[in-house]
Structure 1
Amino acid sequence: MADILTKTFINLMSKSDPKKDLEVICPASAQCGVLLVGEQNMTRSMLLLVAFTAASQMGIRLVFFTRTKIQNLPLCLQKCLPGMSPESLKKIKFCYPRTLEELLQQVAGLHEPTNTFPFPPALIIIDRMEDFLCGLSGASHRESLTGEQSCVAHLSALLCDTASFLTGILEQSTSSPTNCRIIASYQPKQLSGESDQVLDTLDRYFLLRCTLDQDRSYKAAAAGLKELWHIYFSGSGIPLETSTKDAQLRTSLAQEWQLLMYPDDLIEFCIV
């Protein structure tokens, strides 16, 4: 199965993009988790877009964890995902843990038979991981940072273990063996001159990072766009190029895209 995130981009690729007919190449290994890094509202919109695309067009059962209840879809998603059938919506299970402890319990609960029968979820989505990582009350900055790193390592390890467990069930119980994927989002802290050590910890578990960066220059307005976002893939989950046949295409698909949002809230993706 092509990478879910790339499949979503391909599905909404600009019709004017001359590369629209290129072969889809997965930018990540089958066991790779993807971490969306960027502004909260955009990463949530991206996660919802992936979730509804996976359920409606790829038939994937998935679990979506978030602290904030989803009342309505962003207008841009309503326009690009019209007419979703009730059967497709049933493939998405929304869960609203309030604390890190509840999130850990609910992720661990995905191992239980009630969540794996008749088929387990093939996608686990975690929205805004930073919301679950609260600093240690009354602790120093160093102690708080160490606590957050420990918590995120615990959560990430549990996610990887759960995905591996569910992959084993999927391989045995489905006619078309597939893998359970993890996609999570995280907004880095604004640290002057310091690296975000929580993000560094996440990078050890999520082998592919997808960075969303808004272009705030004149380019968006000059092109008649409401917003312009650059999407960069990085990390060890990008496969090494072992042949020259698809080398240029592989690099393009794996490393950089753009998201174009028009004044009427329609969105398109294009390969850079």
Structure 2
Amino acid sequence: MTDILTLVFRTFLSQTDVKKDLKVAPPSPTTCSTLVVGDHSISRSLLLLAAVTAASEMGVKVLFFTQTQIQSLPVSLQKCVPGLSPESLKKIKFSYPRTVKELLQQVASLHESTNTSPTPPSLIIVDRLEGYLCGPGGGRHSGFHPGEQSCAAHLSALLCDSAAFLTQLLRQRSPSSAPCRIIASFQSEVDTGHAGGEASAGHPILDVLDRYFQVRCTLDRDRSYEATAAGLQEVWHIYLFGTGITEASSTKDCEDRPPVAQEWQLFIFPDGLMEFKLV
């Protein structure tokens, strides 16, 4: 699953890392999924960067679900991809379900609409799951109840099932096609953990989501003096952890692979430019 995120990080490498031979791991033969946990402004930029990279670099169709209307690309994204072609943007379809019920209906409809679609999407992105799954406040309160956890399981299972269905359609059209991937974001005030991005306990909805998403991508801001003194606007640590990460071209299912961890750094400059560095 992390082949797309790794491609994003490699495409926008820090100048000090450009000479490194960073290869994108081959996609798993089965559908894998990634959950991005952290600040919503950075996670949205990362999701949009993944969508644009998948559309422009890989030439695949992307379906992007979000509650908030996207009027224009963030400044950071415009800085990273100044020459983005309109044809690449046409490969990204933005959809704006307002409630979890609408989101469930639209995801479920993928089983029907793709029957007449010439090319099914190869990447499904859901921005800010907490806005759909949590009550007013988007997860910033402690009043969780079993209904929200059940809804999280229902939505996650439906996303995985839809991605598996789309993978079958893609491979009917081209046997060499990579599987349909899923990337979603979730923000919580609960500490998401820093030790290699390992899953944290204490958040009922995150506990449910971790059962369905094979990779956790945790965003952790670096507030140290060194980061500030470097003249950067922001420095973030990105931890990738889960069974969907591998450097070996194994044919085993994601679930059979041993957990692997990766750490990257994200540098955001005062002009909005974003660069990544493998730690």
Q: For this structure pair, what is the TM-score category when the shorter chain's length is used for normalisation?
A: 0.7 to 0.9
In 1, Cα distance between the equivalents of 2:50 and 2:101?
A: 26
Computing the radius of gyration from Cα coordinates, the structure with the larger value is: 1
The total of aligned residue pairs comes to 259
2:231 equivalent to 1:228: no
Q: 1:100-137 deviations in whole A, cap 9, x for unaligned?
A: 0000000011111457521110000000000001339x
The 3-state SS of whatever aligns with 1:49 is helix
Q: Are the aligned partners of 2:55 and 2:92 in contact in 1 as well (CA < 8 Å)?
A: yes
The 3-state SS of whatever aligns with 2:211 is helix
Aligned-pair CA distance for 1:155: 0.1
Corresponding residue of 2:210: 203
In 1, Cα distance between the equivalents of 2:142 and 2:189?
A: 15
RMSD: 2.7
In 2, Cα distance between the equivalents of 1:103 and 1:198?
A: 17
* Structure 1 segments (4+ residues) deviating >6 Å: 240-243
The 3-state SS of whatever aligns with 2:183 is strand
Q: Which amino acid aligns with 1:25?
A: A
Corresponding residue of 1:98: 98
Q: Are the aligned partners of 2:59 and 2:88 in contact in 1 as well (CA < 8 Å)?
A: yes
Corresponding residue of 1:239: 246
What is the TM-score when the length of structure 2 is the normalising length? 0.85
Q: 1:71-115 deviations in whole A, cap 9, x for unaligned?
A: 122111111111221211110000000000000000011111457
In 2, Cα distance between the equivalents of 1:197 and 1:27?
A: 30
The 3-state SS of whatever aligns with 1:205 is coil
Corresponding residue of 2:83: 83
In 1, Cα distance between the equivalents of 2:19 and 2:238?
A: 17
Q: 1:207-254 deviations in whole A, cap 9, x for unaligned?
A: 1000011101112122121100000011222338799xxxxxxx9x95
Q: What are structure 2's unaligned runs of at least 5 residues?
A: 192-199, 251-257
Q: Which amino acid aligns with 2:208?
A: T
Q: What are structure 1's unaligned runs of at least 5 residues?
A: 244-250
The 3-state SS of whatever aligns with 1:210 is strand
2:112 equivalent to 1:112: yes
The 3-state SS of whatever aligns with 2:245 is coil
In 1, Cα distance between the equivalents of 2:230 and 2:247?
A: 35
Greater Cα shift, 144-153 or 233-242 = 233-242
Corresponding residue of 1:247: none
Q: 1:14-39 deviations in whole A, cap 9, x for unaligned?
A: 12127622333358774210000001
In 2, Cα distance between the equivalents of 1:40 and 1:142?
A: 19
Q: Which amino acid aligns with 2:236?
A: W
Q: 1:137-180 deviations in whole A, cap 9, x for unaligned?
A: xxxx9984211110000000000000000000001112632210
Higher helix share: 1
**Residues 1:29 and 1:38: Cα distance change in structure 2 (over 3 Å):** farther
Where do residues 10-25 of structure 1 align in structure 2 (5 Å cutoff)? 10-17=10-17, 20-25=20-25
The 3-state SS of whatever aligns with 1:16 is helix
Once the two structures are aligned, what percentage of the paired residues are identical? Answer: 59
The 3-state SS of whatever aligns with 2:270 is coil
Greater Cα shift, 178-187 or 80-89 = 80-89
Corresponding residue of 2:38: 38
